[in-house]
Amino acid sequence: MNNEVPQSTDHQRVVDLVIAGLPKRRRAEKRFRAYGLISIIAGLLFLVLLFSSIISKGYTAFIYTNVALDITYDAEKIDPEGTRKPDSLANGDYDALWKASLFRLFPDVTDRQKKRTLSAFMGSSAGQRLRDRVLSKPELIGATETLWLPVDDNIDMLAKGRLGQEDEFSERLKDSQAWLKILQGKGLVRKSLNTEFFTNGDSREPDAAGIWGAVIGSAFTLLVTISLSLPIGIAAAIYLEEFAPRNRWTDLIEVNINNLAAVPSIVFGLLGLAVFINLFGFPRSSPLVGGLVLTLMTLPVIIIAGRSALKSVPPSVREAALGVGASSVQMVFDHVLPLAMPGMLTGAIIGLARALGESAPLLMIGMVAFIVDVPTSMSSPSTVLPVQIYLWADSPERAFTERTSAAILVLLAFLIVMNGLAVYLRKRYERRW
């Protein structure tokens, strides 16, 4: 009995200690919890920052400033030989037409410097548009009409207020600003959808540069990737999961695939350069080689996803198929594969989305070339959307920043659609056994 008293006081002391420590421990608990929440919020904040900075920089590229000008199709300028033949018409000085119209609007501009500034008011595609019009309708020569024409990219930036404070402007910009205000006062300025951004190939001039060439290049490249990586990846997954005996060879293949999934993408580019281009002599910069490289890169992703989809099909399905007399190949292809297909496709789409956004290996095989023409075949030189973004991001012109962001928005839209499709597939066909 006696020795119970010190025990209970001991116990009492421990409890006191615990109770005394509790506030501190509770604070630590709260702190720890807050750290976790703060981390998640920080991650989401980065996401918001990323999207908001790109959207705020890029959304203006989808609209473009146009000015209404009275164009007189002066035969002396566009057809000096007077033959009215398409050949000689194509070589006319169409920029002179809008320049003349602008000088009529601003007759007080006589200073040489200012005249030169005014001569750079409209974009490089303004003259082109006039030429196309005349070539398709030669009877316009000599007539006058009012047309909405795109301004130069610097003026466009000015109109969108992207060039900062007015008091920091150079003399030339101040002049342009003044003219723009006069034109705006007359209601001759409007913003319209920038269709050229979607329909043109690349260009050195920001106002004529578009993403169509890159979109088509991406489409060709992805087509090669899909048509190779999907069948090969699914077949490899089926073999490894359903037929392969467990031995050293299949172990080696497995380790290999896991490793390949973690090899830096640029190394695949080096492989493409050394093997497909230098060894096989496939055309440089072509979607064919790009697609092959991306195939090798996405295969491990597709195989790993495919195997886990096959794994999730319960053995009872297999046993039932074998029980009614199917061969093992029939069992896999007629019973297991249809059930695993949605899961496999989900993984494949995610892998392909990554391939669509990939650029580093494509730099290695020459898809960074400056290519104006829209690619027409698997072997014509082309670029892809992410590489186009990289090229534009490197360009010093102010207007390219806007275009880069807009191209990113287009790329992200494609990726969202692809990932959305994957999520839809998973939601629609996911089965719990």
Partner 1 sequence: MEKSTLLILVLLLSIAAFYMGAQKARGIAGQSETRRLHSLPGFYGYYMALWAAMPALALIMVWFIAEGPIITAGAVAVLPPELTEAPPEQLSLMVNDIRNAVSGSSPGELDPAIRHAAERFLQLGHYSNTLLSILVLCINMGGALFAYKRIDINFRARNKVEKVLTLFLIACALVAIFTTVGIVLSVLIESLRFFQKVPVTEFLFGLKWSPQIAIRSDQVGSSGAFGSVPLITGTLLISMVAMVVAVPIGLLSAIYLSEYSGPKFRATAKPLLEILAGIPTVVYGFFAALVVTPFIRDLGARTGLDVSSESALAAGLVMGIMIIPFVSSLSDDFINAVPQALRDGAYALGATQSETIRQVVMPAALPGVVGGILLAVSRAIGETMIVVMAAGLGANLTFNPLEAVTTVTTQIVTLLVGDQEFDSPKTLAAFALGLLLFLLTLALNIIALRIVRKYREQYE
Between residue 231 and residue 260, which ones bind partner 1 under the rule CB under 8 A? Answer: 231-233, 235-236, 238-240, 243-244, 252-253, 255-260
- Residues in 43-72 at the binding interface with partner 1, rule: CB under 8 A: 43-44, 46-47, 49-50, 53-54, 57
Pick out residues in 280-299 that bind partner 1 (CB under 8 A). 280-281, 296, 299
Residues 358-387 that bind partner 1 (CB under 8 A): 358-360, 363-364, 368, 386-387
Q: Which is nearer to partner 1, 178 or 255 (CB)?
A: 255
Q: Which stretch binds partner 1 (CB under 8 A): 22-30, 108-116, 127-135, 199-207?
A: 22-30
CB of 200 to partner 1, least distance (A): 21
Min CB(224)–partner 1 separation in Å = 13
User: Quick one: 43 or 80, whose CB is closer to partner 1?
Assistant: 43
- We find the least distance from the C-beta atom of residue 88 to partner 1, in angstroms, to be 23
Among positions 29, 132, 171, 251, the unique one binding partner 1 when judged by CB under 8 A: 29
Piece of the chain touching partner 1 by CB under 8 A; list 85-93, 107-115, 189-197, 408-416: 408-416
**Binders in 172-231 for partner 1, by CB under 8 A:** 231
Among 159, 183, 371, 389, binds partner 1 (CB under 8 A): 389
Contact pick of 265, 308, 312, 395 for partner 1 (by CB under 8 A)? 265
Among 366, 399, 396, 149, smallest CA distance to 276 is for 366
Each residue 342-361 as x (binds partner 1 by CB under 8 A) or -, in order, gives -----------xx-xxxxx-
Closer to partner 1 by Cβ: residue 21 or 86: 21
